[in-house]
């Protein structure tokens, strides 16, 4: 099995890409909704939670673990690899490199959580790849909470439009032509982000096209590569794992199972069954 975890439902944006890339592999999804959002917690608290979540997934039989959370990857990926050195981990980071290479205006914008933007891992990423461009940063904690309750917010879509516009338009006014979605919750707001960006461009006839980077496809490609190269053929040293023939997926949450299932259905477009984990 393959494990995927996040602070909440946002990592389902990663899960759906991985499930598509590896349709024969059972994927266990774990949402730490009892502690969501990670972006407002101390790095030490996030690190402790992440080690517990990964430990449970490995004990549950997962041969590879995907950290489908930018905040968790930023503050705990090194600790995970040190603690569970026989199991491969795939992390996630804001797409600063391709954004810097793609911009026409020389200005990119990273939308993320406070903890991601404050982390040493993110600072190193900007130092390596953002030297030739201006990097704007915007923490959008309300977006995380909106996605966690998207089934409710979908009844009042104008509130989502207002929330997204408040974050995005000031960045576009500063000539950012590439938006980096630095939180796995944010791709689920893509229809509203696209709508807001299109309205801004309609009012600025000479503005260049606006590109939006969703990290999920790249994470799925990397997961596919690691699974095929290390896990499926037993080269991790974590045990002999064979490629499953029949695929089924599990969904767990440290929060309330019925609530998670309701929101996940709204995000994914089909019903799921979730179980609660006391951790």
Residue 69 annotated as catalytic: yes
pLDDT at position 245: 39
Does domain 2-92+216-276 bear CATH number 3.40.50.300?
no
Spot the catalytic one: 62, 69, 140, 167: 69
pLDDT digits (tens, 9 = 90+) for 218-269: 999 999 999 988 776 554 444 333 334 335 899 999 999 999 999 999 999 9
Angle, helix 157-173 to helix 141-148, in steps of 10 degrees: 160
Q: What angle do CA 8, 10, 15 make, to 5 degrees?
A: 105
Q: Identical fold at 2-92+216-276 and 96-213?
A: yes
pLDDT at position 233: 58
pLDDT at position 157: 81
d(CA 274, CA 28): 11
Residue 183 annotated as catalytic: yes
pLDDT digits (tens, 9 = 90+) for 92-138: 999 999 999 999 999 999 999 999 999 999 999 999 999 899 999 99
pTM, entire model: 0.89
d(CA 254, CA 36): 10
Task: Give domain limits for the chain.
Answer: 2-92+216-276, 96-213
Question: Which value, in Å, is the radius of gyration of the alpha carbons in the chain?
Answer: 19
Spot the catalytic one: 62, 140, 167, 183: 183
pLDDT at 171 over 90: yes
150 token code pair? 């998207």
Topology, domain 96-213: Rossmann fold (3.40.50)
Residue 244: exposure state from Cβ atoms within 10 A (0-12, 13-18, ≥19): middle
């Amino acid at each position: 099995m393959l494990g995927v975890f996040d602070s909440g439902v946002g990592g389902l944006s990663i899960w759906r890409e991985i499930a598509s890339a590896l349709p024969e592999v059972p994927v266990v999804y774990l949402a730490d909704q009892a502690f969501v959002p990670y972006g407002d917690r101390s790095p030490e608290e996030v690190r402790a939670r992440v080690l517990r979540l990964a430990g449970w997934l490995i004990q549950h039989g997962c041969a590879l673990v995907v950290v489908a959370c930018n905040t968790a990857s930023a503050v705990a990926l090194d600790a995970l690899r040190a603690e569970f050195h026989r199991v491969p981990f795939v992390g996630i980071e804001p797409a600063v490199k391709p954004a810097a290479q793609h911009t026409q205006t020389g200005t990119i914008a990273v939308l993320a959580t406070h903890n991601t933007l404050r982390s040493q891992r993110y600072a190193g990423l900007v130092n390596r790849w953002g030297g030739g461009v201006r990097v704007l940063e915007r923490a959008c904690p309300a977006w995380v909470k909106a996605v966690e309750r998207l089934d409710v917010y979908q009844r009042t879509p104008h509130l989502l439009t207002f929330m997204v516009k408040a974050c995005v338009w000031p960045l576009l006014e500063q000539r950012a032509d590439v938006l980096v979605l630095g939180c796995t919750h944010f791709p689920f707001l893509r229809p509203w982000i696209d709508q807001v960006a299109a309205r801004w461009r309609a009012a600025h006839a000479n503005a260049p096209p606006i590109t939006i980077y969703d990290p999920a496809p790249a994470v799925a490609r990397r997961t596919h590569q690691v699974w095929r190269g290390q896990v499926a053929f037993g080269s991790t040293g974590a045990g002999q794992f064979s490629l499953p023939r029949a695929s089924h997926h599990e969904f767990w949450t440290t929060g309330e199972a019925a609530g998670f299932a309701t929101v996940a259905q709204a995000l994914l477009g089909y019903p799921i069954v979730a179980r609660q984990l006391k951790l």
